[in-house]
Amino acid sequence: MNQPVVIDTKTATPAAPPLAAIAPQKAQAGVLSRCHNIADLREASRRRLPKGVFEFFDRGSEDEIALRGNREAFHNVKMRNKVLVDVSERTTAATLLGKPATMPLAIAPTGVAGVCWFEGELALARAAAKFGVPFTLATPSLSTIESVAEAGQGARQWFQLYMWRERDLSHALVRRAQDAGFETLILTVDTAVPPVREYNRRNGFSMPFTMNPKALVDMSLHPHWLFQTMAPHYFKYGMPRLANFPKDGGSGVANKPGRIVNQRGDNLTWEDVKFLRDMWKGPMMIKGVHLAEDAARAVTEGLDGLVISNHGGRNLATAVASLDVLPDIKAKVGDKLKVIVDSGIRRGSDIVKALALGADFVLSGRPTLYGASVAGEEGALHALRILRDEMDSTMGFIGCNNVSEIGPKAVWVPKA
């Protein structure tokens, strides 16, 4: 797993002259060689990021029951050896929405990834392009739709939409994504209301970024991040703000420091899904489904896929784990649309478990965020390699040469 580390100093080099003297991000290269799994990357990320930023990325909501449940659900499913099978030709390659990828995984949309690394969204897009998996850009990103499209250099990119109250503004964003060449639209439907995340208030963390005594102390205690991420961003773009949001706000889409961003419409309905389905030319999915009846409706609305997700335990605080509702949803929709799972994937074997229980592929959020916050593009690549290598190993043990051979007999699920 000790890959040679290549740091893209172009993305790391600050634009303004005073920052030229700042230590290059190569300083992080040694860190990656000590990260052998996603938990190691998480720990390295915790050390580099200010507490407010790290907790924003890492934690859940309220008492974090969903967050813990995500890992428990994967831990509860066990696997069976399949012996005496020639697995010397195995591959993790997969087809995602009709096109090839190097593994059955796409990078999930994670808002404000640009806070974890200078131009973090571009780093993630480049890593995904190099590795051969799709990257999903979140609506609340610090990089523009167009700059991410350029960084992805023609590789597969998906766009995630949070619908604003002002539908026209959201539809304009969707048009921009389409024009920029984004392939798939993911409409997030599990965020009708803002979640309760008390730690952000305790830490003084908010987006748009506001300077307050707590945040200032926190940042100054993390000089690597301050000089390699925050300072270059400030000198190139100013204070971190949501790059695709309207500049001067509007009701519900404020984007000024100190104002609450109430970006998600609590009046989103299937009518919006219909409208977007007509508008978007490529594949379209909804993200955040738990009920079989909603999955059935997704089929009748002509969607290409749905993501079973509890937002990584960040929204509905006591939400069910995706893995636990996957079999019901799969039983309801069969192969009528793609069934995707996210929330809690930290090992390659977790991907195999999801596939064995009926998922077509998975989304993964924090693993590449941890990687990117340690070493940008190379760190995100490191996370992807870890997951791929672990998945490859698991496939070898369960006697599978390709992902289509992964089925229910590979797993043991405790009786309810």
Ligand X SMILES: Cc1cc2nc3c(=O)[nH]c(=O)nc-3n(C[C@H](O)[C@H](O)[C@H](O)COP(=O)(O)O)c2cc1C
The residues binding ligand X (CB under 6 A) are: 57, 70, 108-111, 138-140, 160, 188, 287, 309, 311-312, 314, 342-345, 363-366
Residue among 222, 233, 290, 311 flagged as catalytic: 311
Cα-based distances in Å from 100 to 96, 171, 199, 270: 6, 29, 40, 30
Contact of 97 with 342, CB cutoff 8 Å: no
In 194-245 the beta strands, taken as DSSP E runs, fall at: none
Closest CA to 370 of 102, 9, 54: 54
The separation between the first and the last C-alpha atoms of the chain, rounded to the nearest angstrom, is 38
Distance, in Å, from the CA atom of 138 to the CA atom of 202, rounded to the nearest integer, reads 25
Distance, in Å, from the CA atom of 161 to the CA atom of 311, rounded to the nearest integer, reads 14
Q: Which is nearer to ligand X, 7 or 242 (CB)?
A: 242
Q: What are phi and psi of 136, to 5 degrees?
A: -110, 120
Catalytic status, residue 171: no
CB of 373 to ligand X, least distance (A): 10
Contact of 186 with 161, CB cutoff 8 Å: yes
- The residue assigned the tokens 């590795």 is 131
Longest CA span, the chain: 64
Distance, in Å, from the CA atom of 408 to the CA atom of 90, rounded to the nearest integer, reads 19
Cα-based distances in Å from 182 to 33, 37, 212, 274, 281: 34, 31, 37, 19, 10
Four-CA torsion 327, 370, 40, 232, nearest 10 degrees: 180
Bond from prior residue into 109 cis (ω within 30 degrees of 0): no
Closest CA to 362 of 348, 373, 375: 348
Which single residue brings its beta carbon nearest to ligand X?
Answer: 365
Q: Would you name the residues annotated as active-site residues?
A: 311
